[in-house]
Structure 1
Amino acid sequence: MTRRPLNPYFVLALAIMLPGAGHVAIGRAPRGLVFAFFTLLFMVLTYMTTTPDQSFIGRHAGGLFIWALSLPDVYRRARMDYLAATFARR
């Protein structure tokens, strides 16, 4: 028995709260963990290479960029799964 796909907006909300969580929720854990790892890695790298007088956004820009890239990716994948399950039931 397969489980019903999650609502894409719910998956997007998970991904907004915690990078990689949306991917894990839709069953793509390796992809989600890669996004989470690189988000953290690039946050640390940009934090270490900027000066203390930069804003929070500036000090963590690398990680925020990766996190922002993960949001449309997880939404698109969740929506495709959701629509495929919807049309398969008809």
Structure 2
Amino acid sequence: MRRPLHPRLVLAAAVLLPGAGQVLNRMPTRALIMVFFMLLLGFLTLQLAAPERSFVGRHAGGIFVYAIAVLDAYTVARYRWECFRQRSQAKGV
């Protein structure tokens, strides 16, 4: 098994570019799904929100999915990192 990327690197990529964290975790289908729903819910809330709402209020659906995508990418990366670390420690014993 090859060494996974450090979770902080995945977190930084996920924050900077939507779906990048999932791609770095070797889950491109999940990245496409997240980006699709991010755009869909962002557009939906843009259409349904009142015009006097703030930018965040008008795009709340997309921002919500974006936050979930960041947390998902970091959680998966952290899980893989810890599994790799424990396996390498067990082999070294």
Question: TM-score, length-normalised on structure 1?
Answer: 0.89
Which structure would you say has the larger Rg?
Answer: 2
Letter in 2 for 1:23: Q
Q: What's the offset of the Cα at 1:16?
A: 1.0
Letter in 2 for 1:47: L
Q: Gaps spanning 5+ residues in structure 1: where?
A: none
**% identical equivalent positions:** 43
Give secondary structure in 1 for the equivalent of 2:39. Answer: helix
Spell out the pairing of 1:13-24 with structure 2 (5 A cutoff): 13-24=12-23
Aligned pairs, how many?
89
The equivalent residue for 2:40 is 41
Question: TM-score, length-normalised on structure 2?
Answer: 0.86
The equivalent residue for 2:49 is 50
Q: What's the offset of the Cα at 1:3?
A: 3.7
Q: What's the offset of the Cα at 1:35?
A: 0.7
Cα distance in structure 2, aligned partners of 1:89 and 1:69? 30
The equivalent residue for 1:61 is 60
Q: What's the offset of the Cα at 1:52?
A: 2.2
Letter in 1 for 2:3: R
Letter in 2 for 1:40: L
Cα distance in structure 1, aligned partners of 2:46 and 2:17? 19
